[in-house]
């Protein structure tokens, strides 16, 4: 496109990586040119992370060659890669909240003058990095309190200040809303025109076409397909990713029953993140909640599940007030939450799958207060089988893929036969193939008469699974759309009020 020089700045040839006897990358070739965005796509476990970790010096390849700006390249550490001009921006932001933006940009390599830290020089250079991204924030500001999108941009500014010529962005929009995503994309365009090469990893296939020049699809540790353009139909990409043709992403939605299960009246947050929310959900209905990041959706569903305090309003179940004061209250009434952040709120990563499934069910597993390992494992194995969790009971939850971790979270709750299941971003960070099994689970719950609430930033998802969709904007309920009236335009209109 804008690239004057068509020879690649980064070339990978026959890169292999083995852990013990297990080979996870089988001879991958990859080229990145200056000023282009290469989308690196694939399901979790396809080898994208390993590959990007090799490029950014976190992991060393077992064999193969890399060329960076026409010279052999074998970074021994992330620092070495950084010094060479390769920056990686991780999905989990690695900023220090109590330090200023300038300090974050230069952390570990503070500029000094005569042995003292040269704050002025750091602030000036950080500021120019921020300006390159169109961000007008004081570099003296603490990172704490900045929006996720801005934190993301600061990570990028950090890499730019260190003269990065290649950026690896790992799921940069995972935590961003629509508008913030567009802001990020504008900055990426700007970087492209400056000749920065970008490797872009994402699960959001719709948005990728907006910015990418080329698409590389990986599966099972190998490159399976390469497209020399960005506007490839999503279905074609997905089929390449999963290696089979997909009939339909979303299963059919069952018709809800007439009686109302859950009613929310005048609910307001004690923290002010949402106010005066009213809605009623029927038995067997899937109720979607859409909106931009920061609209108060997560806070609302956390309050419904008793995890966050409220200042006013009530929650009714079958017409009876049950307003929970704690998760214990909500669970007792059959309202359970599958939280947004699986790793921090959903599972204990370094405990076994069986223990994770057991935690909300300890009283049920115990006979007369006593639990044996055998009883616990039998209980868990039952649900591991039922939900098709790919793993054994004694494995740590942290060893599982995102999709399987989510199944563990679902399993631990569904063992309690809940009446209301609240799912917050149920497929965030989960690969496409595993998503459909989560959707099927949701539909199965609904057809069994469970009331399901789904919060999602993924418009296609919320449209695909919901009977009705409530749109929230700035802590208020902007409207409730019926399935037949809802589309991405009508939702975004309400969300951006």
Residues found near other proteins in the complex (CB under 8 A): 305, 307, 327-328, 331-332, 337, 339, 344-351, 355, 358-360, 362-363, 365-366, 369-373, 376, 394, 412
Assess contact for 171 and 91: CB atoms under 8 A: yes
Pairing of strands 37-41, 197-201: parallel
| 193 or 372: CB nearest other proteins | 372
**H-helix or E-strand spanning residue 18:** strand 10-19
Query: Cα(169)–Cα(157) distance, rounded to whole angstroms?
Result: 12
Helices 234-242 and 432-447 meet at what angle, rounded to 10?
100
| 130 or 331: CB nearest other proteins | 331
Residue 316: C-alpha distances to residues 8, 24, 284, 339, 417 (Å): 61, 51, 16, 21, 18
| 208 or 335: CB nearest other proteins | 335
Burial (CB count within 10 angstroms: exposed 0-12, middle 13-18, buried 19+), residue 357 = buried
Q: Closest separation between CB of residue 363 and other proteins, Å?
A: 5
Q: Closest separation between CB of residue 492 and other proteins, Å?
A: 31
| 69 or 345: CB nearest other proteins | 345
Q: Closest separation between CB of residue 365 and other proteins, Å?
A: 7
Instruction: Kindly state the tokens that stand for 448.
Output: 């069994």
What are phi and psi for residue 470, nearest 5 degrees? -95, 130
Q: Is 370 helix (H, G, I), strand (E, B) or coil?
A: strand
| 355 or 461: CB nearest other proteins | 355
Which residue carries 């599940």 as its tokens?
305
Pairing of strands 277-282, 260-269: antiparallel
| 315 or 331: CB nearest other proteins | 331
Q: Closest separation between CB of residue 328 and other proteins, Å?
A: 5
| 360 or 433: CB nearest other proteins | 360
Q: Closest separation between CB of residue 394 and other proteins, Å?
A: 6
Q: Closest separation between CB of residue 481 and other proteins, Å?
A: 30
Q: Closest separation between CB of residue 334 and other proteins, Å?
A: 11
């Amino acid at each position: 496109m804008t690239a004057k020089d068509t020879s690649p700045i980064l070339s990978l040839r026959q890169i292999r990586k083995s852990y013990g006897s297990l080979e996870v990358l089988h001879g991958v070739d990859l080229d990145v040119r200056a000023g282009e965005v290469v989308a690196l796509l694939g399901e979790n476990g396809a080898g994208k992370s390993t590959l990007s970790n090799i490029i950014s010096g976190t992991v060393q390849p077992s064999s193969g060659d890399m060329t960076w700006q026409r010279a052999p390249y074998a970074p021994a550490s992330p620092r070495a890669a950084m010094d060479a001009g390769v920056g990686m921006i991780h999905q989990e932001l690695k900023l220090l909240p109590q330090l200023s933006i300038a300090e974050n940009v230069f952390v570990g390599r503070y500029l000094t003058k005569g042995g003292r830290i040269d704050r002025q020089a750091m602030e000036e250079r950080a500021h120019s990095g921020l300006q390159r991204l169109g961000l007008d924030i004081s570099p003296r500001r603490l990172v704490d309190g900045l929006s996720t999108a801005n934190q993301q941009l600061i990570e990028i500014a950090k890499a730019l200040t260190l003269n990065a010529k290649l950026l690896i962005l790992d799921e940069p929009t995972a935590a961003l809303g629509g508008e913030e995503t567009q802001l990020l994309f504008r900055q990426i365009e700007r970087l492209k025109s400056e000749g920065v090469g970008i490797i872009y990893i994402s699960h959001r296939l719709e948005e990728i076409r907006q910015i990418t020049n080329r698409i590389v699809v990986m599966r099972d540790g190998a490159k399976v397909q390469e497209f020399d353009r960005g506007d490839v139909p999503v279905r074609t990409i997905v089929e390449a990713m999963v290696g089979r043709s997909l009939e339909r992403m979303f299963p059919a939605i069952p018709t809800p029953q007439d009686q109302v299960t859950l009613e929310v009246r005048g609910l307001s947050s004690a923290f002010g993140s949402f106010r005066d929310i009213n809605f009623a959900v029927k038995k067997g209905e899937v109720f979607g909640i859409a909106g931009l990041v920061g609209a108060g959706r997560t806070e609302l569903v956390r309050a419904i599940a008793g995890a966050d305090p409220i200042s006013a309003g009530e929650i009714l179940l079958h017409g009876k007030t049950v307003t929970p004061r704690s998760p214990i209250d909500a669970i007792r009434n059959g309202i359970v939450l599958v939280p947004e952040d699986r790793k921090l709120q959903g599972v204990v990563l370094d405990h076994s799958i069986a223990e994770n499934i057991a935690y909300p069910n300890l009283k049920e597993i115990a006979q007369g207060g006593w639990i044996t390992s055998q009883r616990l494992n039998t209980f868990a194995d039952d649900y591991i089988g039922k939900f098709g969790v790919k793993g054994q009971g004694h494995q740590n939850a942290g060893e599982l893929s995102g999709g399987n971790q989510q199944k563990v979270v679902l399993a631990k709750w569904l063992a309690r036969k809940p009446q209301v299941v609240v799912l917050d971003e149920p497929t965030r960070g989960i690969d496409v193939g595993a998503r459909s099994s989560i959707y099927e689970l949701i539909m199965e719950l609904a057809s069994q008469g469970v009331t399901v609430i789904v919060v999602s930033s993924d418009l296609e998802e919320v449209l695909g699974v919901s009977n009705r969709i409530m749109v929230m904007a700035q802590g208020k309920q902007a409207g409730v759309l019926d399935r037949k009236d809802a589309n991405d335009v009508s939702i975004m209109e309400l969300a951006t009020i």
